[in-house]
């Protein structure tokens, strides 16, 4: 197929996207705050593959002002929210599938460079994964404690929306006003899904209602944030007063009332919410879970195989833990040692400041050691930040946000210090390596800085690769000379044990129909983690099915490939070169990673 025909087909996909991108009624009431979906111009005839992918990226970006802002793009959409209608999701999917089909018809992988051929393969893989999940696009929970818009949209304003001048302050105010119609549209979709049997368990609603309560009133976290950002501008004081007053008016007239309506809808749903926890209860729940497992692990492992792997890994790690228990001289069973670690005050911090100071010290020591194990290091700075108060009760234990490609925003390691008794000293070191360096920050910042890759590879990902890398680097820290305190090394094993138990409880909940209480008890019996940590984790796995299985599956594959390389190359093995092979492509499925490492081993031997 000619480039002219392929670009015509790509243009058709974009036209479909624009035509179908109409907003729901609630959003149409506020057109100034909802992003349009203008079609970018098609690439000229004879465009290379890089231009082809750039065109696709521009079309997708036109649908999401939030994604633009995360990348540091502040254009005419700065001040808008994405169109949350199903029509736009359908159009976006059609665009992806049409682009993949057009690519296959226009480019011959045999005639591409090796890196272009990999991009070709990865884009096909991306399209196939999306197509398998697409029939289940209305199976997700719109409002929950992990990813709900009730907290994610304010968090976006606080953490992503920069205010460098009056125009960007006005854009922030426009987004505050736009919160109302978007929340109303999402609330209506949530009600529709609940009527169709797609509803989170009853206990989820208390978290969502708590988040809403934290944002009600005129002096909430969003108003405080814009006040602080406007306060730093070098503008006339009267102009600052005007902007802050305008923000409060926008909240009072739009966002605040919408939160009130959302509260009423969540309370209504709460009264009839299900008590079963797994997604097996959803329409086509079994097929949905199978699709999620395939998506997150990039393997064809069944739920039963994943469950059995988890049980085997739990037994292995328990054995390694007993060796450390003996080393420190603890007398008793492993479960008694767990209880000792869980309940003894010396293993917990008494102030947030002390916790953050120790994280800072561990990160700095690791950064000094990185050049001995990595050729490629991130340019972006790493910031460690406590989760904001308005969402810390419901947010996860720790998570990472990638830096913007323009350098305007650092990579951020968020640590949840809502309850310091959920954050053991023994785990601090491994957690810092996982979320910071050499874990997520190093990998995702380097990925963002791979400017020669197409956008879908620089900014996309595969969970088994990304989270597998994070867990791999926890153990890598031991190879690098860290975990000198045996209790910290036990904490490292505890973090790995946690991921092994995830394989058991995630499949237990969603395939074997375990209750929340049974899953909690399994973690209490098999891990040293505090009760609050355990309960929050199980609640995460319930509303985020399948995702937690990717960590250990990815880590085990990376360790397997490293072991294979060390055996094959002997003294010729070099950590830095191995890490380049893993990192220099950006995220890939595990089978492609294995193929690349095998090729590298063969080349090194030759």
pLDDT band at 218 (very low <50, low <70, confident <90, very high): confident
Per-residue pLDDT tens digits for 84-119: 999 999 999 999 999 999 999 999 999 999 999 999
Residue 7 has pLDDT above 50, yes or no: no
Average predicted confidence (pLDDT) for the chain: 92
> What percent of the chain clears pLDDT 90, i.e. is strictly above it?
90
The reported pTM is 0.92
Q: Cα–Cα distance between 155 and 110 in angstroms, integer?
A: 45
DSSP 3-state of 23 = coil
Cβ(281)–Cβ(206) under 8 Å? no
> What percent of the chain clears pLDDT 70, i.e. is strictly above it?
92
The sheet with strand 382-386 has its strands ordered as 382-386, 411-415, 398-401
> Helices marked H in 377-461 — which ranges?
425-435, 440-448, 455-459
| Kind plus residue range of the DSSP H or E element containing 195 | helix 166-195
The candidate with the shortest Cα–Cα distance to 466, out of 595, 584, 588, 591, is 588
Cβ(303)–Cβ(535) under 8 Å? no
Residue 4 has pLDDT above 90, yes or no: no
Six token digits for residue 142: 């719109």
For every residue of 532-559, which 3-state class applies, written as one string? HHHHHHHHHHHHCCCHHHHHHHHHHHHH
pLDDT at residue 147, as a whole number: 87
Q: Helix and strand tally (H, E) in the chain?
A: 26, 3
The candidate with the shortest Cα–Cα distance to 433, out of 350, 489, 393, 487, is 489
Per-residue pLDDT tens digits for 399-458: 999 999 999 999 999 999 999 999 999 999 999 999 999 999 999 999 999 999 999 999
pLDDT at residue 41, as a whole number: 38
Per-residue pLDDT tens digits for 20-64: 333 333 333 333 344 444 333 334 445 699 999 999 999 999 999
Per-residue pLDDT tens digits for 446-463: 999 999 999 999 999 999
Q: What are the boundaries of each domain within the chain?
A: 3-136, 149-275, 291-553
Q: Cα–Cα distance between 79 and 227 in angstroms, integer?
A: 17
């Amino acid at each position: 197929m000619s480039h002219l025909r392929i670009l015509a087909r790509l243009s058709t996909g974009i036209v479909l996207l624009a035509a179908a991108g109409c907003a729901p009624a609630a959003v149409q009431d506020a057109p100034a705050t909802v992003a349009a979906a203008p079609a970018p111009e098609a690439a000229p005839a004879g465009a290379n593959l890089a231009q082809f992918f750039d065109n696709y990226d521009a079309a997708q970006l036109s649908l999401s002002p939030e994604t633009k802002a995360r990348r540091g793009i502040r254009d005419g959409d700065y001040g808008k929210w994405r169109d949350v209608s199903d029509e736009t999701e359908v159009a976006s999917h059609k665009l992806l599938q049409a682009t993949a089909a057009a690519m296959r018809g226009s480019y011959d992988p045999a005639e591409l460079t090796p890196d272009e051929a990999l991009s070709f393969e990865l884009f096909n893989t991306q399209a196939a994964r999306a197509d398998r999940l697409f029939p289940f696009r209305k199976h997700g929970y719109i409002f929950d404690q992990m990813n709900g818009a009730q907290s994610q949209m304010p968090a976006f304003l606080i953490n992503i929306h920069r205010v460098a001048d009056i125009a960007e302050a006005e854009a922030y105010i426009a987004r505050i006003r736009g919160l109302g119609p978007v929340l109303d549209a999402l609330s209506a979709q949530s009600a529709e899904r609940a009527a169709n049997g797609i509803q989170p368990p009853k206990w989820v609603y208390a978290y969502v209602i708590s988040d809403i309560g934290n944002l009600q009133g005129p002096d909430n976290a969003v108003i405080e944030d814009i006040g602080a950002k406007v306060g730093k501008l070098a503008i006339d004081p009267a102009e600052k007063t005007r902007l802050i007053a305008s923000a409060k008016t926008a909240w009072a007239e739009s966002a605040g009332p919408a939160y009130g309506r959302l509260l009423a809808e969540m309370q209504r749903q709460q009264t009839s919410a299900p008590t079963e926890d797994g997604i097996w209860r959803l329409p086509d729940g079994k097929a949905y879970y199978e699709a999620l497992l395939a998506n997150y692990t990039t393997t064809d492992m069944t739920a039963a195989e994943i469950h059995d792997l988890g049980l085997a890994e739990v037994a292995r790690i328990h054995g390694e833990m007993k060796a450390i228990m003996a080393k420190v001289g603890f007398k008793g069973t492993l479960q008694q040692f767990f209880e000792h670690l869980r309940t003894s005050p010396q293993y917990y911090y008494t102030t947030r400041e002390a916790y953050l100071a120790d994280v800072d010290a561990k990160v700095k020591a690791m950064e000094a050691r990185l050049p001995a194990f990595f050729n490629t290091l991130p340019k972006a700075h790493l910031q460690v930040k406590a989760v904001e108060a308005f969402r810390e009760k419901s947010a996860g234990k720790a998570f990472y946000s990638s830096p913007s490609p323009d350098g305007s925003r650092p990579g951020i390691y968020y640590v949840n210090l809502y309850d310091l008794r959920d954050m053991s000293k023994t785990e601090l070191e491994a957690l810092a390596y996982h979320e910071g360096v050499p874990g997520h920050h190093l990998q995702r910042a380097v990925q963002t800085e791979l400017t020669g890759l197409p956008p879908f590879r620089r900014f996309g990902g595969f969970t088994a690769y990304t989270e597998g890398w994070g867990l791999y680097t926890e153990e890598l820290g031991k190879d690098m000379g860290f975990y000198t305190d045996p209790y910290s090394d036990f904490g490292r094993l505890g973090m790995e044990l946690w991921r092994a138990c995830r394989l058991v409880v995630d499949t237990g909940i969603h395939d074997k129909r375990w209750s929340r209480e049974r899953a909690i008890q399994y973690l209490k019996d098999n891990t040293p983690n505090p009760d609050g940590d355990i309960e929050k984790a199980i609640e995460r796995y319930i509303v985020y099915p399948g995702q937690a299985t990717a960590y250990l599956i990815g880590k085990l594959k990376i360790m397997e490939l490293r072991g294979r390389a060390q055996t094959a190359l002997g003294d010729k093995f070099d950590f830095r070169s191995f890490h380049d092979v893993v990192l220099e492509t950006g995220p890939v499925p595990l089978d492609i990673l294995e193929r690349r490492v095998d090729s590298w081993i063969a080349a090194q031997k030759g």
